[in-house]
């Protein structure tokens, strides 16, 4: 019994961080991995949200909307660097997820733009948001808030 308890305790410490960061959500053929957001400076009214979407189906699907009580408005954006210029572009038609493919929303790339934030994103906190897919429908996922300069790689979080 004592051994079992110890094993459970050790497992908790070993697996705890993995469970916390590598979290997954499913709806229909769509699987969502590791939704996360960056902490925001005080008074900031916008924040970026990131996650990986995998389409296990045989038809393309599309992330069309995201909503959450913590933001007054949410859009899907793409950031690109053109030389030294950071460019932002809204994607009003959403983000297509081809069949059998994974699309990663990440810094300097596709991202969810949380706007009119009701309060800043604080590191180590989390919040829920509802994702809407054209075919798979709606799913609620939990975003973990990571440091302001995190790049979302799990290695970094496990340090």
Partner 1 sequence: MPSSHPALGRMVAAAATAVAVSAAAVIYLTHPASDRVPGISTHAEIGGPFRLTAPDGAVVDSQDLKGKPYAVFFGFTHCPDVCPTTLSQVSRTLHELGPEAKDLRVYFITVDPERDRPDVLRDYLSNFDSRIVGLWGTPDQIAVVAKEFKAFYEKVPTSDGGYTMNHTAILYLMDRNGEYSAPVGYAEDEASYLAKFRALLEGS
Interacting residues with partner 1 (CB under 8 A): 38, 40-48, 73, 75, 77, 79, 81-90, 92-93, 107-108, 111, 113-115, 147-149
Backbone angles phi, psi at 129, to 5 degrees: -145, 150
Q: Which is nearer to partner 1, 102 or 108 (CB)?
A: 108
Residues linked to residue 14 through DSSP beta bridges, in sequence order: none
Q: Minimum CB separation from partner 1 for residue 82, in Å?
A: 7
Residue 108 neighbours by CB under 8 Å, 6+ apart: 79, 80, 81
Q: Minimum CB separation from partner 1 for residue 87, in Å?
A: 5
Q: Which is nearer to partner 1, 46 or 139 (CB)?
A: 46
Q: Minimum CB separation from partner 1 for residue 37, in Å?
A: 9
User: How far is residue 31's CA from residue 23's CA, in Å, rounded to a whole number?
Assistant: 11
Sole residue written with tokens 């994607």:
91
Q: Minimum CB separation from partner 1 for residue 78, in Å?
A: 11
Q: What share of the chain is helix, strand, coil (3-state, %, to 5)?
A: 15, 50, 35
Centre a 10 Å sphere on the Cβ of residue 124 and count the other Cβ atoms it contains: 10
Q: Which is nearer to partner 1, 149 or 159 (CB)?
A: 149
Q: Which is nearer to partner 1, 114 or 133 (CB)?
A: 114
């Amino acid at each position: 019994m004592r051994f079992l308890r110890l094993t459970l305790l050790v497992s908790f410490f070993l697996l705890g961080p993995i469970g916390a960061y590598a979290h997954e959500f499913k709806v229909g053929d769509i699987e969502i991995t590791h939704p996360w957001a960056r902490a925001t400076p005080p008074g900031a009214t916008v924040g970026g949200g990131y996650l990986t979407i995998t389409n296990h189906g045989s038809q393309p699907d599309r992330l069309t909307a995201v909503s959450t009580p913590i933001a007054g408005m949410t859009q899907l954006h793409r950031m690109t660097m053109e030389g030294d210029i950071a460019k932002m572009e809204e994607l009003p038609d959403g983000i297509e997820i081809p069949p059998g493919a994974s699309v990663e929303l990440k810094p300097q790339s596709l991202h969810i733009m949380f706007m009119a934030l009701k309060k800043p994103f604080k590191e180590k906190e989390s919040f829920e948001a509802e994702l809407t897919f054209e075919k798979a429908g709606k799913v609620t996922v939990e975003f973990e808030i990571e440091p302001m300069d995190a790049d979302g790689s799990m290695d970094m979080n496990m340090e």
